[in-house]
Structure 1
Amino acid sequence: MQEERPRLLMGVVAPATNISVQPEMEALRPPGVINAHARIPNPDRAVTSDADTLAVRASMVEGLNAALDTLLPATPGHVVLGVMAENFVGGGAAGQRLVADCAARIGCRVTDYTSAILAALDVMFGRKIRLSLLTPFMPVGDAAARALFEDAGHEVVRLVSLKAPGPAAIARVPRERTMQAVRDLAGPEVEAIIQVGTNASFRALAREMEAELGTPVLAANPVLYWRALRREGITDPMPQHGRLFTL
């Protein structure tokens, strides 16, 4: 007996240094959706300055097409870009062009973090809000992340940067340090706490901190995956992944 075709073959692209996108997006998969993962060949180089951040971005952009090409034979129905800096550093129109180029190359729709998080905030709140940001970046990345939200009309009232010293180090920030950073971002004026940086294993911790603080805490990888599913008409309610997955 022939098996039923999958509802969706989801291409998922992440840097070679990223060890969080794959397990987190596998955990978010509804029945009938298959994730096909591809890796961007990027080195784990030290990041101690804005110049280092820009060099890491350049190496990842250069490897992005190669990663997409490994997905082409599988003909995915949608692709998630599990990367952040490409859309933040130099962001705006440059980020939009990058996403459009990716979609043209792979032949299907592509979801990036910028569009995903703005769509999530619109669905959850339906208005502009006051928010706090948790980032793993150096100042140039922090400024671009802040600009993403402020350019869309939201108010960034607090920002905490973990300043990870390299791409792979983002996944190794101690849990206790991350939890304290989230607590530092909370406050009566904060309507949502938003984590950026896809190499942070933050999916489960976001649910935990949301319960502790009573404030919505949005993790990068679930937001990306939610947006990709909804764009393809997959609306399964999955409350175990947070309120966003019921909308």
Structure 2
Amino acid sequence: MDEINPRDTLGHRCLMGVVAPATNTAVQAEMDDLRPEGVINAHARIANPEQRVAADADTLAVRAAMVGGLMGAVDTLAPCRPDHVILGVMVENFVGGGGAGEALVREVGERLGCGVTDYTSAIRLALDALFGRKLRIGLLTPFLPIGDAAARRIFEEAGHEVVRLIGLRAPSPASIGRVPLERLRAAVTELNGPEVEVIIQVGTGLPFAGVARLAEREIGKPVLASNPVSYWRALRACGIGDAMPQHGRLFTV
């Protein structure tokens, strides 16, 4: 029998595991668009309900269902032995962040025996790489107020100031991926005040990567979409430093 290559043939530079909710249609599409040569993504899905979200209690119910399915989804990646894993969810809107979020990320890494990228650590590192100082932020979320507050804390706990915030109040998990591009472009315009130094989008189900690339060129300041930020961090954590300016300013860092 011929000798088996110890590295994945297509993913010889990195076999990237990616975990996202079943209702999320943006993570796979946007992260697959970001793959450099020699990197492939192995996707796993968290079984989560598609249900109406009209109040904070509904958000908490969706969170609970996703937490219950997360480790089962993670375990489906184990047989392919990923080099690194991206959590395609905002941990703060998943288990509340803080120590609970750190414990969740740690457990995923221990189950798979590899490094893990979560959005919170990724965006903080991205802002440090691009600016290296405290910032005034325009923030876009797809969430209700409870999710907006969790997103705001990510930045305020790091010393930044959220000076403008738009929460789109998507009425269900899957509807996040159905927000019209026109609404997303309008949100950038609304957030782009003279006091805003960077526009940031959170909520991995929102199809914002293409809007961010175009807006960044038009307004002349960084516009950071959640899925590219996480993918950038994961690539750099794996020692892959390819400059890909076509994906935005962050990918030249």
- For normalisation by structure 1, the TM-score amounts to 0.96
> Which residue is equivalent to 1:88?
93
After TM superposition, the structure 1 = structure 2 runs for residues 61-210 of structure 1, keeping only pairs within 5 Å, are: 61-84=67-90, 86-88=91-93, 90-210=96-216
Equivalent of residue 20 in structure 1, options 22, 26, 46 = 26
Instruction: Spell out structure 1 runs of 4+ moving beyond 2 A.
Output: 1-5, 86-89
Cα root mean square deviation, aligned: 1.4
Q: What is the Cα deviation at residue 179 of structure 1?
A: 1.1
Give distance in 1, aligned partners of 2:252 and 2:218. Answer: 20
1:88/1:148 contact within 8 Å kept: no
- Pairwise CA distance, 1:126: 0.6
In 2: Cα distance, 1:105 partner to 1:49 partner: 34
Residue type matched to 2:218 in 1?
E
Describe the superposition over 1:14-41 as per-residue Cα deviations: whole angstroms up to 9, x where unpaired: 1000111111111000100111000001
| Aligned counterparts of 1:95 and 1:88: Cα–Cα separation in 2 | 9
SS, match of residue 189 in structure 1: coil
CA contact (8 A) 2:204 2:226 kept: yes
Amino acid at match of 1:106: L
Gaps of at least 5 residues in structure 1 are none
Secondary structure (helix, strand or coil) at the match of 1:176 reads helix
**How far apart, in 1, do the equivalents of 2:219 and 2:55 lie?**
33
Partners of 1:22 and 1:11 in 2: how far apart?
Answer: 11
What's the offset of the Cα at 1:199? 0.8
Q: Percent identity?
A: 65
Name the aligned partner's letter for residue 208 of structure 2. Answer: F
Gaps of 5+ in 2: none
1:201 aligned counterpart, secondary structure:
coil
Q: TM-score, normalised by structure 2?
A: 0.94
